[in-house]
Homo-oligomer: A and B are copies of this chain.
């Protein structure tokens, strides 16, 4: 009895949170104290070419309003800037500022070093197997989960 089944999902969440927490501790040390856990993923989704609220909402699987709000806050704290699309004055393209790109680059590097620590701890083979197993059990598209509000709410 006692259902060890709870163990698996909890460990997955915990592992995620541990990585995210270490990332943000390090990001804070490196000059990005204001950034919030999802901002890195959002900026990753914005990409180098920039995007609009509607597009961002589609790729993240949230409403355009939610995406718009997130862009608002990223703009407010200086990680994103908006400009109107000259070809379609309805559209406002959100692009990463240098500060935003810096955060994204640092996030990537920090994640890489965290992964390296895991590789050290578990061995590269074990870690590789873990990643491959996780890929097997999760959808192809990392972003679009088709679970409403999967971002931000348990």
Interfacial residues, chain A to chain B (CB-CB below 8 A): 3-21, 23, 36-38, 40-41, 44, 107-115, 118, 121-122, 126-127, 129-131, 133-139, 142, 145, 147, 150-154
Chain B residues whose C-beta falls within 8 Å of the C-beta of A7 in the assembled complex: 131, 142
A11-B134 in contact (CB<8A): yes
Question: Can you name the residue of chain B whose Cβ is closest to the Cβ of A112?
Answer: B5
Question: Can you name the residue of chain B whose Cβ is closest to the Cβ of A10?
Answer: B142
Nearest chain B CB to A35 CB, angstrom units: 12
Oligomeric state, in number of copies? 2
Nearest chain B CB to A46 CB, angstrom units: 14
**When A and B form their complex, which 9 residue pairs have the shortest distance between CB atoms, in order from nearest?**
A5-B111, A3-B108, A11-B134, A5-B112, A12-B16, A14-B138, A37-B154, A9-B19, A38-B154
Nearest chain B CB to A123 CB, angstrom units: 9
A145-B14 in contact (CB<8A): yes
Chain B residues whose C-beta falls within 8 Å of the C-beta of A12 in the assembled complex: 12-13, 15-16, 19, 134
